[in-house]
Amino acid sequence: MFWFRLVSTLVVLAAFAPPTLAQDRAYFVTYDHYLEEPRHLEIAIASTTGIPKNGHAAYTAPWLELEYGFTGWWTGELYLEGVTTRGDGHAFTGWRFENRFRPLKGEHAVNPVLYVEYESINEASRIQKEIVGAGGIPFEPIGELRKEHAHELEGKLILSSAIRGWNVSENFIIEKNLSVSEGVEWGYSAAISRSLGTLARGTPCRVCTENFVVGVEAYGGLGSTEAFDRAEQRHYVAPVIAWHLAERTTLKASVGFGLTQPSERYLVRLGFAQELTLGGRK
């Protein structure tokens, strides 16, 4: 209810901002090659609601994102996350700090971005910003899972292209749990999207085709160096939609459909982002 009220308040405030096209990505899992503008801060709130199989209780995992553009080639982002489960309480599940580096200037046929993230989380974490390895999420009581802490290091190779109005992105993921010995885990995500309109109108308009971005992303785990475990891998396909409500204000949603037995039946994601200028444009 807290997150619903907060999103509702921000949407109402955004309604009074001048409408224009923003560039925040529509994806929840996949990254493209666009970084945050220098000296700009994006504040975003989002959540993942999981609808599991086998009679397990549904859960909602909200998170807060603070993304800052340090330079034109370096963006940093801090995540704070939690979880709440009907009948099983709630918990703070940890924090993450990511860095994205774009080594090449300008637009290219394929734009590479390097991603490095440190995670200080516990086993109750369920935001599922990426999926690696194999096996489903644990369903032990939240109170027990929050006691099992993990320090993890994650890297991604992000490849992204702009092709005739379409964005096509592929992410290759590698993750290492520094707290226990479980090998190196692998994962992937891939996505494609485009704006429903091609040209911005000369008059203010909020519900215009150019303010909507639609697409689809697919993501999942690929086992680890210890075992491939194909039967235990989780894979999802998820249509996505983003609505640029106003200048630098984006509301987006996605429904992920589990494709394998260990996957959740659905992963419903909602997100709201507002970008702020700090110290002027560069």
The model's pLDDT over 202-235, given as tens digits with 9 standing for 90+, comes to 666 777 888 999 999 999 999 999 988 899 999 9
Question: Minimum mean pLDDT among 133-142, 224-233, 241-250, 273-282: which range?
Answer: 273-282
Give domain limits for the chain: 2-277
Contacts of 87 (CB under 8 A, 6+ apart): 57
Question: Minimum mean pLDDT among 34-38, 42-46, 168-172, 181-185: which range?
Answer: 181-185
Q: Which helix (H) or strand (E) holds 42?
A: strand 40-51
Which residues share a beta bridge with 201? none
CA–CA gap between residue 233 and residue 262 (Å, rounded): 7
CA–CA gap between residue 80 and residue 153 (Å, rounded): 16
CA–CA gap between residue 162 and residue 157 (Å, rounded): 17
Nearest alpha-carbon partner for 179 in 94, 103, 241: 94
Q: What is the pLDDT of residues 103-128, one digit of tens each?
A: 999 999 999 999 999 999 999 999 99
* DSSP structural state of residue 179: S
Contacts of 163 (CB under 8 A, 6+ apart): none
Answer whether residue 25 shows pLDDT above 60: yes
What CATH code would you report for 2-277? Answer: 2.40.160.40
